[in-house]
Structure 1
Amino acid sequence: MIDVAALRALRSVAALGTLARAADELGFTASAVSQQIKRLERQVGVPVLAPAGRGVVLTPAGQAIVDTAPEVFQALERCAEAAQSVAEGAPRGVLRVVGFSTAVRGLLAPALRRLSTDCPDLHVHITEQDPDQALHSVDAGTADLALVHDADGLPAPLPPSLTRRHVHSDVGDVVMNRNHPLARHDPPLAGADLAGQAWVTSPPGTVCHQWFRRLFADGAEEPDVRHLVDDFATQLSLVAAGEVIALIPRLARPPLGGELVSRPLRRQPRREVHAAWRRSADTSPAIQAVLAELGSLGGRTRTEQDRRGYP
């Protein structure tokens, strides 16, 4: 009989191209992954990997195994879900959640407070991952639930084995020192209001930098970018000094305190946040409990933002 751990190792090697990368994903050493692959080859009686430069490729036999692996993992997952349903469907055990940093800060961390009270036998383990990596982790079975955001208005491509649900809409506001001239401006801000301002912004290649560039898409002059900083807390520290302003997603923002204020934009940049999980885990009590709390939290977050006018 094929060893499930060895099958999972082969699937990760196939997706990532090297034993070392697969080992990092699975939490093993490269030597341990190599031993799992060799055990699998002994079990099926044929080679499943072949060297290719600095990496490896699947043999035809290995490809055939990887192609049928999802059916195996889905069947195993259905077995686990059946056992949980017999136990009255109570959320229990460990749920491995992966997500981008601001979703961890703004959605998962607040959700954990309620889950610890409502589901005391459920233990959520969180790993920060970018959306593409997070979807791969869930598809590969090394995570159970992913929080991902769309890229430039388009949802990330979803592997056939996964399904998703919208959980939150995140928007960006301009944050400034309370003594900044724009702080006296009645919201919302238009593009003309931002002309000539000095900025700290996220580096190129990030969603927030794309948001920032769109603010000036119709302008003739390049914006005055003084600082490129990926960490939002550091951005806010520079904004507090009074020299620059910043475009910050609401999910990324801690309480602003007395020094800072935020103002919404007339054309608000927006990204949609989805939860994704394997279709075979649709009935998982643990996943459904987390989804329910995220949905409830999203409603409470929007209500609080509306009550404050402009957070």
Structure 2
Amino acid sequence: MIEVGALRALRSVAALGTLARAADELGFTASAVSQQIKRLERQVGVPVLAPAGRGVVLTPAGQAIADSAPEVFQALERCAEAAQSASEGVPRGTLRVVAFSTAIRGLLAPVLSRAAYPQLRVEVTEQDPGEALRSVGAGTADFALVHDADGLLPAPLPPSLARRWVHTDVGDVVMSRTHPLAGLEAPLDETALAEHAWVTSPPGTVCHQWFRRLFADEPDVRHRVDDFATQLSLVASGQVVALIPRLARPPLGETLLARPLRRPPKREVHAVWRRSAEASPAIRALLSELEPAGAKVDG
């Protein structure tokens, strides 16, 4: 009989292309993953991997096994969830959550601080949305928070996953109370913003994309910093302003203030989980804590 661990190893290698990357995702050594693959080959009697440059590819037999793997994992997960649901629906065990950093700060941390489920252990790992979707799909995480990057989810959502909208994040301009912009009437427009110096997130980030869309011409960018707390320390100097998502914003204190934009950038935040885990009391509990009024399951 094929072992579940070996099946999971093959699926990860198929998705990532090398034993080393699969090992990183699964939390094993490359040697351990290689041994699982060899054990699988002994069990089925045929090779399942073939070398391809510096990586590997699946043989036709390996591809056939990998294609059947989701049905196996979903059936096993439904068995576990049925057992949990039968136990009065009490959230218990370990829930592995992956999310982008500002969702951890602004959404998960407040929920975890007030939720009281003594039999449930929640483990949170920071991952970008694309990686988070892959982790949930592969079964190395149970629940994810992802953002749509101004209208597009980071990857098409496969049929095996479900999602639910939980939050809309908005960007505001943050400035020192002594800055000239602080005296203008809100909401602010692009004309008023273009005359001032900025600290921004580095190119390639969602927040930098938000920033560049504000201006037709090249703005005066003095600093490029990924950490929002560091951005705010530079804003406190009174020389620059910053575009900060509300989820990423700590309390501004007495020296800083936030002003809304006339056309504010937005991103939608979704919770994602496997449909086979739909009955999980732990997932339902976390969704209930995160769920705003009127949220609906997306197909």
Deviation per CA, 1:230-277, whole angstroms, max 9, x where unpaired?
Answer: 111111111111110000000000101111100000101000000001
**Partners in 2 of 1:30 and 1:155 — Cα distance?**
31
State the partner residue of 2:93.
93
State the partner residue of 1:303.
none
**Partners in 2 of 1:153 and 1:257 — Cα distance?**
32
Correspondence 1:228 to 2:227 = no
Shift of the alpha carbon at 1:155? 2.4
Shift of the alpha carbon at 1:177? 0.7
Shift of the alpha carbon at 1:298? 11
Q: Could you tell me which of 98, 123, 130 is aligned with 2:128?
A: 130
Deviation per CA, 1:193-215, whole angstroms, max 9, x where unpaired?
Answer: 10210000011111111110111
State the partner residue of 1:287.
283
State the partner residue of 2:178.
179
Contact 1:152/1:210 (8 A) holds in 2: no
Shift of the alpha carbon at 1:296? 4.8
Runs (5+) with no aligned partner, structure 1: 300-311
State the partner residue of 1:114.
114
**Partners in 2 of 1:280 and 1:74 — Cα distance?**
5
State the partner residue of 2:236.
240
**Partners in 2 of 1:242 and 1:158 — Cα distance?**
44
Deviation per CA, 1:84-120, whole angstroms, max 9, x where unpaired?
Answer: 01101111110000010000110011110122x2x11
Residue type matched to 1:181 in 2?
Answer: P
Correspondence 1:40 to 2:40 = yes
Deviation per CA, 1:142-167, whole angstroms, max 9, x where unpaired?
Answer: 00001000023222311221110000
Residue type matched to 1:139 in 2?
Answer: G
Deviation per CA, 1:2-52, whole angstroms, max 9, x where unpaired?
Answer: 100110010000000000000000000000000111111111111100111
Residue type matched to 2:69 in 1?
Answer: A
Q: Percent identity?
A: 79
Normalising by structure 1, what TM-score? 0.92
Correspondence 1:154 to 2:157 = no
Correspondence 1:214 to 2:210 = no
**Runs of 4+ with >6 A deviation:** none
Residue type matched to 1:240 in 2?
Answer: A
Contact 1:114/1:293 (8 A) holds in 2: no
State the partner residue of 1:308.
none
**Partners in 2 of 1:176 and 1:298 — Cα distance?**
34
**Partners in 1 of 2:293 and 2:137 — Cα distance?**
26
Instruction: Say which structure is richer in helix.
Output: 1
| Cα-Cα RMSD | 1.3
State the partner residue of 1:261.
257
**Partners in 1 of 2:293 and 2:18 — Cα distance?**
40
Which SS does the other structure have where 2:144 is aligned? Answer: strand
**Partners in 2 of 1:32 and 1:247 — Cα distance?**
46
Runs (5+) with no aligned partner, structure 2: none
State the partner residue of 1:304.
none
Contact 2:167/2:292 (8 A) holds in 1: no
Which SS does the other structure have where 2:213 is aligned? Answer: helix
State the partner residue of 1:306.
none
